[in-house]
Chains A and B, each alone.
Chain A
Amino acid sequence: MKRNLLMNRLEHLPTLRIQPRQTLTIRYNGKNLRGYAGDTVASLLYGCGERIFSRSLKYRRPRGLYSLDGECSNAMMSVDGWPNTNAETTPARHGMVVTPQNVVGSLEWDPMGWMDHLAFVMPAGFYYKLFHKPARLWPLAIKGIRQAAGLGKLQPEATFDCRCDAIYPNTDVCVVGGGPAGMSAALAAAENGLRVVLLEARPHLGGFCDYRVRAEKGGMPLYQWVGALADEVRATENIRVLTHAPVVGVYPDQRITAFQRGSAADVFDLRYIEIAATSVVVATGCIERPLLFASNDRPGIMQIGCAHRLLHTYGIRPAANAVFSVAHDLGLEAAIDMHDQGVTVHCVADAREDGQDPQMLSALAQRGIPHWRGWVAQVAHGRRQLRGVTLSNLTGTFKKRIGCELLVASAGLTPLTGLVTLAGGALAFDHHTGFFLPQRLPPAVQVCGRIRGLHDPSSLSADGTLAGLRAAADCGLNLNREIARAEAAGAAAPGAVRGSKLAMAPGKGGKAFLCFDEDGTVKHVQQAMAQGFDVPELIKRFTSIGTGPGQGGMPGHNLPLVVAHSQASPDSDPQPTTIRPPLVATPIAAYAGGKHDMAKRTPMHAEQLTAGGRMERVGEWYRARRFGADPGAQDEIIGVRTNVGLLDASTLGKFRIFGPDAVKALQRVYVGDMTRTVPFRTKYAAMCNEDGCVIDDGVVIQTGENDYYITTSTGRAGQTVEWFRYHTRYDSWDYHMVNLTDAFGVINIAGPNARQVLAAVTDADISNEAFAFSTCRDLLLRGDVPVRAMRLGFVGELSYELHVPASYMAAVWQMVETAGQSLGIVHFGLEAQSTLRMEKGHVILGSESEQRTTLHDIGLGFLWCRTKPEAKTVGGAALRHTADQPGRLKLVGFKMEDPRSRAPRDGSPIVDARIRGYVCTARFSHALQEPVGMALVDDDLVRPNTRLGIYEDGCNGTLRHAMVVPMPFYDPKGLRMRM
């Protein structure tokens, strides 16, 4: 009955941020609940009559809506499988599935609720002390504690469908906070032609003025005034507004990180933002300080802003009747608004004796709302939800109990100074405002607005303008005159307002919570202090107050006040605790950013797909693994060995290096002697790192005077230019490199019939005499397609590697395919290529080598020229030192003892009494009709006919045996590739 009443929102308020015509439904705890576009999950639940939102961490006490900005863990729920999602800051979306967490039974009846009565065995720091003696109790206790402790549960099998993104904007001025001061600062900086980024944690601009209709600025109600400001900000082209983007941290050089929640209309759900700014304006404003009294956490107790925004922003009457216990004019204003919207306000207890806005007092009096000066809430009543409250005067001499559904409780305001601290500013306690005010600011950081204790709208706007101008000056503009004028305007506006003191009604018993997240009470602080902890920093650790997901936002100010209040020395000022990023709880997914698959496709991707290619991600490329169902690609292998095959090798790194000093650079980087290249002869060459370990191999072709064409392995293509430049960085050599990897495609035609295929597409003389093995020629195909053809022998057959401009690639592919059709040309992929080259004993770096494998280890030591020390070759010194070094793993070929058995699995260890090496690659060889493989083994096992024991996964100790044999396995004299 009550629920139906509450379903009705106040639809005609001018301050509404929901669209009453656009309904949506979410699934909560098995029920379908209706809300409106613009609702957060929390406002939707509250609007549907939900009052208990969670159970607390330690005592399992029921908790309800308290703030609306995610400052505590009260509203943490599991949303679409994401645990610990704060319902207050999560926009409601149609079809969302929301479940409460940290609860065993239901939120109303949690069997773990008895934990609340066990509080006496859980004093501050109990887990440091209890269960440790006797020691054998600890493992048992830790099990129970771990089961009960913690917030939320992650389902290991859950997958999250989240669109994540990341942006890295650069800007002149970054303004944090989209309230009146922040917007004024943004406008002031933007008017001077600077680029501005404005960050606002809430989904809309306006800050604490957005929902206020009573107070005025220049004859306009505040919501209209900030609405006009927001319109102006949005209409300014050089201001980029990022809403729903709380700031996470500030780092040196004015680097600011934030994360943004996207709406359904955005292209992201979560976005990591990293801003590089020249100057930062901090206009984060204030949050409310919780009022401390017994059971101040009962559902039904909320802060002023929470109640006020529920009413004005979301159109929800928070309750039928209410009591206020406040210490700020904002509370009086909320009480008046609440009354005007039909909520019975029994009374407003005001912790202040004086200093109230007389207009508010007369408005209260007009409505017949009692206003009690010097009174505060002492005890909240009700077991699961609030039923009433006992108010008392500050001395505790008078008490009065009032029944109510809602208690709006707030001890005053606290500035959000986290950013200032993180930026390196110092804070000092100010007795007038009761705030920790920014005292010393780092360069290029400005603060303005309520964070400085200001409250009056005209002061906020003047202060914001001044900060915006100062930020513009940080960017190098000369604005002395404007700044002086703004300073005068700021001085003329009302100054910082007097803040409220710590107000606690005297009383014993009950739990007055300082920190909802960690269930930390005033008593815990007193217990910690009784044990000798005297600074907030230590008490924070001992009691864990302020270490929860709220990141110390709420208790951050009350803790130092309570400590100072309880301290023996009466003249000590409160000390703030240290702030660290993240300032708000941030999903890790936000840091991970987008999952943009940056794969590359060769120019023949489509053609290979048509030919039945099974594409596979290899590094950054998509490549055809095989063309058919057979995982061993037998037909492809036989096709290449007996007929002719076609391979897309476009992923090879391809470079042109030229200039007078090009050969010096080659000498530096390649281990071979590059001065002895012959024009248009391919030279196989390798690169090592400083340790003499092979990192790359490829061919080098001299194509002109001081002009070379080189290829690298696929994986190294990206780093090659950087590598050359790094190793010649001290030399100022005159040479240039062009990365042609993507500019050229590569087709490999391989097999005994390869010449017939190539002859069909070119008029050039390609006989073995005219175009011999390991030479290179520039040919024209069909008379006009320029290709660079090389005769290489990677797969061990007669083969031509055609390097073709990428735009011609598809045409050349079709040409070759057509020319080979009558011969029955096959496509072959990586799998076939890997077996074919292995039969030849050719290594693929990374398969047959690892990080510590030197050139000598894989039998390529002959590539190293030891007579060029003057070139200071990279790896040269190490190659010299390791040439005969014992105890290294060496590459050997092997065959199985039983030729009919299958090939061992790649990576299987080779063992005798201990591990002696491992199988790199092993495949069934169709040419030899038995399995062959390559392995890296200890150097005493390299002699032919050495018996190797191979230990495969799941072999239960039964080794398989192989014999070391000389390589290559196939065509040892290399006659076939010279045909």
Chain B
Amino acid sequence: MALSLTCPICGLRNGYEFRFGGADKGPRPLEEGLTPAQWCAYAHLNTCVAGVQLEWWNHKDGCGTWFVARRDTRSNREVPKEDVQ
């Protein structure tokens, strides 16, 4: 419960206001020639980083923006941009 996130539009807000959209895995792969295994890897497999992870979050109870946040999965806290190596 302790998560707070910084929405690019609304600023620092309570984590309850956001919906998690998964790790930032990059744009969708091309459909042409995509094998089931490749598709599955994109849609369902996650690296589950223990550390700083780039993630998509949606400010569902606010402006509705999808944005990328940096979260340390070990402390469940947002990490400021400059702290990311």
Contact = CB atoms under 8 A, between A and B. Distances in A.
Contacts of A871: 31
A371 interface: no
B10 to A, nearest CB: 12
B64 A722 contact: yes
Nearest to A257: B1
Contact of A253 (B2, B16, B44, B60): B2
B76 interface: yes
Contacts of A24: none
B21 A726 contact: yes
B39 A878 contact: yes
Contacts of B56: 726, 729
Contacts of A961: none
Contacts of A878: 39, 43
Contacts of A721: 64
A455 B56 CA distance: 51
A581 to B, nearest CB: 11
A872 B43 contact: no
B34 interface: yes
B31 A873 contact: yes
Given A722-B19, A872-B28, A253 B77 contact: yes
A135 to B, nearest CB: 42
A255 B27 contact: no
A253 B4 contact: yes
Interface string A227-255: 00000000000000000000000011101
Interface in B30-68: 30-32, 34, 36, 39, 43-44, 56, 58, 60, 64-66
Residue among A253, A725, A870 with most chain B CB within 10 A: A253
B72 to A, nearest CB: 10
A276 interface: yes
Nearest to A250: B2
Given A168-B14, A726-B56, A877 B77 contact: no
Contact of A252 (B26, B36, B58, B76): B76
Nearest to B17: A168
Nearest to A869: B31
Contact of A276 (B4, B34, B58, B64): B4
Contacts of B14: 168, 274, 276
B75 A691 contact: no
A725 B1 contact: no
Contact of B4 (A255, A727, A880): A255
B54 to A, nearest CB: 13
Contacts of A722: 19, 58, 60, 64, 66
Given A168-B14, A881-B39, A725 B31 contact: no
A251 B1 contact: yes
Contacts of B27: 730-731
B2 A251 contact: yes
Nearest to A866: B31
A734 interface: no
B22 to A, nearest CB: 9
**B interface, how many residues as a size bin?**
20 to 34
A877 B31 contact: yes
A721 B29 CA distance: 22
A690 interface: yes
B6 to A, nearest CB: 11
Contact of B66 (A168, A276, A691, A725): A725
A876 interface: yes
Interface string A874-887: 00111011000000
Nearest to B4: A253
What bracket does the count of chain A residues touching chain B fall in? 20 to 34
A252 B60 CA distance: 22
A253 B29 CA distance: 37
A276 to B, nearest CB: 6
Contacts of B21: 726, 729
B31 A252 contact: no
Contacts of B1: 251, 255, 257, 274
Given A691-B43, A877-B39, A878-B39, A255 B31 contact: no
A730 B29 CA distance: 12
Contacts of A869: 30-32
B34 A877 contact: yes
A479 B22 CA distance: 43
Nearest to A876: B31
Contacts of A731: 27
A238 B77 CA distance: 29
Contacts of B19: 722
Interface string A850-873: 000000000000000000011111
Contacts of A727: 28
Given A722-B19, A869-B31, A877-B31, A730 B2 contact: no
A847 B28 CA distance: 31
Interface in A707-743: 721-722, 725-727, 729-731
A729 B57 CA distance: 11
A571 to B, nearest CB: 36
Contact of B36 (A168, A730, A881): A881
A871 B75 CA distance: 39
A868 B26 CA distance: 21
B13 to A, nearest CB: 9
For A691, A869, A877, which residue has the most chain B Cβ atoms within 10 angstroms?
A: A877
A168 B4 CA distance: 13
Contacts of A255: 1-2, 4
Interface in A83-136: none
Contacts of B31: 869-873, 876-877, 880
Which of B34, B65, B76 has the most CB atoms of chain A within a 10 A radius of its CB?
A: B34
A528 B75 CA distance: 36
Contacts of B34: 877
Top 4 nearest A-B pairs (CB, nearest first) are A251-B2, A869-B31, A730-B27, A690-B43
23 contacts: A168-B14, A252-B75, A252-B77, A253-B3, A253-B4, A255-B1, A255-B2, A274-B1, A274-B14, A276-B4, A721-B64, A722-B60, A722-B66, A725-B65, A726-B56, A729-B56, A869-B30, A869-B32, A872-B29, A873-B31, A876-B31, A877-B39, A881-B39
Interface of B: 1-4, 14, 16, 19, 21, 26-32, 34, 36, 39, 43-44, 56, 58, 60, 64-66, 75-77
Given A726-B21, A726-B56, A869-B32, 12 more contacts: A168-B16, A251-B1, A252-B77, A257-B1, A274-B1, A276-B14, A725-B65, A726-B66, A730-B26, A869-B31, A870-B32, A872-B31
Interface of A: 168, 251-253, 255, 257, 274, 276, 690-691, 721-722, 725-727, 729-731, 869-873, 876-878, 880-881
